[in-house]
């Protein structure tokens, strides 16, 4: 049965339904990784987006119990060239199409994904609609924030390690939590609107601001609180957390033309000149010129477009990464950032004991 992807620009791309035919609407973005579709679909940062996978064969190892980044998938829809092949992996429990059907997420196959991506790269990410009708146009209005749909509303503690880390949840990936727990941390996840008074009562050694969906400027109301928290505790910001820290300390953000979504983004440490291959998923970026009058210094840059990929505070133990050091999916060569962060935590804790 024929299906269609309609773009806000008026372009229409024909395909064939690989799941139940149904309407879906969202921002159309593309992901360039060859693998990792399960992690992508369950990454809360993709909430409400229609994901176009550029690799032509998606779904060939099925869906398993091990690679979820959250309990449910968050994509609004999926577009692939081929996605209904037999899966062949010993851990697989169902096919990609079966998994998406379970959650009522449509997948359009046999689509010209190269043409779709070329359109987005030229004109930018835009609203789109998956439909069985050949003349269905998407709504032009974008959702300002969807964080409340993916973030937790209660405190929860994981692990029994010696260092206590508070993870502020804007829609965190489980692999971030796992990286901390595996490094002997006790981690308490808290709602993103948690006050500094409540955080003080938890007596954390450090703070992590998680990834999450949407425009960081939509969170302007909590920026003063974020700044107070980061000024008191060693802090690591990842993806959206990186952008929020930049805004909190006086920087500015803007939307990229089509964003960075893939597992092969080259990033350079501007001090060491070392280049890392990183996993990324974001549509917004920190403006470098906006940092001139702030205490934030550029630590990482994207090799391809020179955009800001990480920051460090000039005097406080605060570091950020636009990319995903937990790297699920993707290369794990940047996960040492968790070690650097925990060294800052350890150093700060040692100083406080010395002056107690």
DSSP output for 144-190: S--HHHHS-SS-EEE---SEEEEEEESS--HHHHHHHHTTTEEEEEE
pLDDT interval class at 309 (50, 70, 90):
very high
pLDDT in tens, 191-214: 999 999 999 999 999 999 999 999
Q: Which of 350, 294, 344, 288 is nearest to 319 (CA)?
A: 344
Phi-psi region of 162 (alpha: psi -120 to 50; beta: other; left: phi over 0): alpha
Q: DSSP character for 45?
A: G
Residue in the block written with tokens 């929860």: 156
Rounded (5°) CA angle 282-324-123: 20
Residue 80 near residue 247 (C-beta atoms within 8 A): no
pLDDT in tens, 13-47: 999 999 999 999 999 999 999 999 999 999 999 99
- Please give the order of strands across the beta sheet that includes 206-209: 156-158, 185-191, 163-169, 206-209, 235-238, 318-321, 308-313, 296-302, 253-269, 275-286
* Token reading at 312: 């460090």
pLDDT at residue 111, as a whole number: 98
Other Cβ atoms closer than 10 A to 293: 8
pLDDT in tens, 327-341: 888 888 999 999 999
Answer with the residue of higher pLDDT: 180 or 139. Answer: 180
Among residues 6, 260, 313, 324, which one is catalytic?
324
In the residue annotation, 340 being an active-site residue is answered as no
Other Cβ atoms closer than 10 A to 65: 8
pLDDT in tens, 145-154: 799 999 999 9
- Quick one: average pLDDT of 38-62? 97
Among residues 239, 242, 260, 313, which one is catalytic?
239
pLDDT at residue 140, as a whole number: 64
pLDDT at residue 135, as a whole number: 85
Query: Which H or E run contains 41?
Result: helix 37-41
pLDDT in tens, 221-251: 999 999 999 999 999 999 999 999 999 999 9
In the residue annotation, 260 being an active-site residue is answered as no
Name the β-bridge partners of 13.
Answer: 5
Most distant CA atoms of the chain, gap in Å: 71
Task: Compute the residue count for the chain.
Answer: 356
pLDDT at residue 249, as a whole number: 98
Residue 236 near residue 264 (C-beta atoms within 8 A): no
pLDDT interval class at 355 (50, 70, 90):
low
pLDDT at position 352 over 80: no
pLDDT in tens, 90-134: 999 999 999 999 999 999 999 999 999 999 999 999 999 999 998
pLDDT at position 142 over 80: no
Answer with the residue of higher pLDDT: 296 or 86. Answer: 296
In the residue annotation, 324 being an active-site residue is answered as yes
pLDDT at residue 88, as a whole number: 85
pLDDT at residue 86, as a whole number: 87
Phi, psi dihedrals of residue 350, rounded to the nearest 5°: -65, -40
Domains in the chain: ranges and CATH:
2-131 (3.50.30.20), 147-354 (3.40.50.880)
pLDDT in tens, 259-308: 999 999 999 999 999 999 999 999 999 999 999 999 999 999 999 999 99
């Amino acid at each position: 049965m024929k299906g269609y992807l309609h773009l806000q620009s008026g372009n229409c791309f024909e395909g064939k339904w690989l799941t139940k035919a149904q309407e879906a609407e969202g921002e159309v973005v593309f992901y360039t990784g060859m693998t990792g579709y399960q992690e992508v679909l369950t990454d809360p940062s993709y909430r409400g987006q229609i994901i176009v996978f550029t690799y032509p064969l998606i779904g060939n190892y099925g869906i398993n119990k091990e690679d979820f980044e959250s309990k449910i998938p968050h994509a609004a829809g999926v577009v692939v060239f081929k996605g209904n092949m037999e899966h062949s992996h010993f851990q697989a429990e169902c096919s990609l199409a079966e998994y998406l059907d379970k959650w009522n997420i449509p997948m359009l196959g046999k689509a010209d994904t190269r043409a779709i991506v070329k359109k987005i790269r030229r004109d930018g990410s835009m609203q789109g609609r998956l439909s069985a009708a050949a003349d269905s146009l998407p709504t032009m209005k974008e959702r300002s924030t969807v964080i409340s749909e993916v973030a937790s509303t209660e405190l929860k503690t994981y692990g029994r390690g010696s260092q206590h880390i508070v993870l502020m949840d804007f829609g965190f990936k489980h692999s971030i939590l796992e990286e901390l727990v595996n490094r002997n941390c006790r981690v308490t996840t808290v709602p993103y609107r948690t006050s500094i008074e409540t955080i003080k009562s938890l007596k954390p050694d450090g703070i992590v601001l998680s990834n999450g969906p949407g425009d960081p400027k939509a969170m302007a109301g909590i920026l003063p609180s974020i700044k107070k928290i980061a000024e008191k505790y060693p802090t690591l910001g990842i993806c959206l957390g990186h952008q929020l820290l930049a805004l909190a300390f006086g920087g500015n953000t803007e939307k990229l033309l089509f964003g960075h979504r893939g597992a092969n983004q080259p990033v350079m440490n501007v001090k060491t000149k070392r280049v890392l291959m990183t996993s990324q998923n974001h549509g917004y970026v920190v403006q470098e010129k906006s940092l001139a009058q702030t205490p934030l210094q550029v630590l990482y840059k994207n090799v391809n477009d020179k955009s800001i990929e990480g920051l460090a505070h000039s005097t406080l133990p605060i570091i950020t990464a636009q990319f995903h050091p937990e790297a699920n999916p993707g290369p794990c060569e940047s996960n040492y950032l968790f070690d650097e962060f925990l060294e800052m935590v350890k150093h700060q804790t040692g100083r406080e004991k010395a002056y107690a």
